[in-house]
Amino acid sequence: MYLLSELFGDCPQVKIVETFAENYNEALSGPDIARMTGVTKATVYSHINKLLKEDIVLKAKKVGKTQLYQLNNDNPKSKMILMLERFIVSERLGKITETEAVSSQFVSVPQAAEGIELTSQ
């Protein structure tokens, strides 16, 4: 659902950060992120190294030889990313709800008119 990419542009770093944000409770491997984002593995690992240095992402665990990474939910920058993503989602849901409410008002007008009898004078 790449909301941050729509806002900040369709660049690899944003896609990778957004993937961690959308999967904030999951540990992801480099190949997982590459598959999810369409970004090459080399680019993914380059950006993961930057995110590790900023402490935005942590090494979660190793499964065999595969290192898994996870968003550092204790990092203030990570928290801001999550808050921004949630804000965008809530804004969109609010607009959808408003649109549905307006649509339902127009649908209910003919239904309300069904009970009215028209008399000719």
Q: What percent of the chain has pLDDT over 90?
A: 50
Which single residue is written with the structure tokens 């499964």? 63
116 pLDDT above the threshold of 50: no
| Phi and psi at residue 77, to the nearest 5° | -65, -40
Q: What percent of the chain has pLDDT over 70?
A: 70
21 pLDDT above the threshold of 80: yes
Which single residue is written with the structure tokens 């959808």? 96
Residue from 25, 1, 31 nearest 15 by CA: 1
Which single residue is written with the structure tokens 């239904």? 111
